[in-house]
Amino acid sequence: MKTVLITGRSSGYGLETARHFHAMGWNVIATMRNPREGIRPKSDRIRLLPLDVTSPESITAAIGAAGPIDVLVNNAGIGMLGALEATSMAKTREIFETNTFGVIAMTQAVIPHFRARRSGAIVNVTSSATLAPFPLVSVYTASKAAIEGFTGSLALELRHFNVHAKLVEPGYGPTTRFAQNTDVKFEDVIPQPYQSFANPIFAAFAERPAVFTTEADVADGVWRAANDTSDQLRFPAGPDAVALVN
């Protein structure tokens, strides 16, 4: 029976991905900064571990406690909306610590085990913001675009060891907590000169579009990526992301 370790499993894509792998008969190691019971199916095939992807000590402890795994899903991330002019460098670095450096650190931690076994897969969840430019998400997009380049290069060097690196690119998910997992208030990152530009954009975000991405779309994309042994790198998830690619 195979085992998957999923980061950022407390809600949204991570939670649905954990449920999907469990339903498909896998062992699931679900991680989050502050584990809490009551959000997972009761099963001896699901384990909950604490993990802060920005802490080397936390990563080492989680990987050690997890034991052998077959797939790492780097899903943990922080959303960010706002004008670049009003986004502090401290906040920018915080976004990159989780969305970029956290992914790299987790990946680096599992590679020795996968390489030694000559099997395994690393699935990095990015965003459709890397597929086409969107306004007011420049820092977030940069943090995810870095992982796109990182994963493409990594896939080539790991292929020699029969280890796969894949990208899952979700579209717009109005039912997720994209902008709720950051402590930045919209009014702080949309200064007055930008309000006439930003207001129609936020109004459009508030209205659910006809085509969008659900948590189930992403879980399916991660599942397909995790089990794919071809050279396919990118797996757009959700009909809007697929439309952008096409």
- For the chain, where are the E strands, in sequence order? 3-6, 27-32, 46-50, 71-74, 121-125, 164-170, 234-237
Rounded (10°) angle between helices 56-66 and 102-117? 30
Catalytic annotation on 140? yes
Residues in the chain: 246
Q: In angstroms, what CA-CA distances link 56 with 62, 126, 154, 184, 218?
A: 10, 22, 21, 25, 28
Residues with Cβ < 8 Å from 49, sequence gap 6 or more? 29, 30, 31, 35, 62, 65, 66
Active site amino acids: 140
